[in-house]
Amino acid sequence: GENVEQHPSTLSVQEGDSAVIKCTYSDSASNYFPWYKQELGKGPQLIIDIRSNVGEKKDQRIAVTLNKTAKHFSLHITETQPEDSAVYFCAAIVGGADGLTFGKGTHLIIQP
Amino acid sequence: EPEVTQTPSHQVTQMGQEVILRCVPISNHLYFYWYRQILGQKVEFLVSFYNNEISEKSEIFDDQFSVERPDGSNFTLKIRSTKLEDSAMYFCASRQLTGRGTEAFFGQGTRLTVV
């Protein structure tokens, strides 16, 4: 089955700086890669996703890049703000298998 | 904005007891899921459900677990004879289409504590 690795487990950045979280996946059949933000005591909330037919997608301060050859994808957050502090999960899905495979999560801490 | 709702938010149960976790998926969604998150760990897929039957399940989803859609709106996860290691957050999710390229919406979760 699919295996998703996520790094780093904790990331601390100064407010206003950029943050980058990286994930790799194992199954070349995966072709949908969502990123979820989870705040304390809440369920995961989708913040951005990318499909395998594109290499990059951007939504305001958030961007995701995908390298299918290397089987890795990354989340980029620019101009970080205190409200960006949360745990971020990457995930991948294999066609025909409906369950998302999640990475272990990155605890993003924005230092004021 | 439509959302997935889960009840209860917190359930405490004695080891060996049965629990039922309830979910109301988004009304026009066709695919329903249960995920589990042990404290401090990643979200793990348990089971997916479509057209009134299980379409996929993980190795975690053993005979202790069952799912049901008893009516047109609810989707339940039953855990028989709970164990201490079943303590976790359980998330329900739904999506319109399966497989590739469609967003899964998650509920707020039910925190299950087995004592």
Dump pLDDT digits (tens) for A14-55.
Answer: 999 999 999 999 999 888 899 999 998 889 999 999 988 889
- Kindly state whether A46 is in contact with chain B, defined as any CB-CB distance less than 8 angstroms: yes
| Nearest Cα to Cα of residue B74 among B6, B8, B24 | B24
- Kindly state whether A51 is in contact with chain B, defined as any CB-CB distance less than 8 angstroms: yes
pLDDT digits (tens, 9 = 90+) for B57-108: 999 999 999 999 988 789 999 999 999 999 999 999 998 875 455 788 999 9
- Kindly state whether B81 is in contact with chain A, defined as any CB-CB distance less than 8 angstroms: no
The verdict on a CB contact (< 8 Å) between A43 and B109 is: yes
Q: B99 in helix, strand or coil? A: coil
Chain A residues with beta carbon closer than 8 angstroms to that of B30: none
Q: How far is CA B17 from CA A43, A54, B32, B63, B108, in A?
A: 26, 48, 25, 15, 24
Q: Which chain A residue's Cα is nearest to B107?
A: A43
Looking at the complex, report in whole angstroms how far the Cα of residue A66 sits from the nearest Cα belonging to chain B. Answer: 14
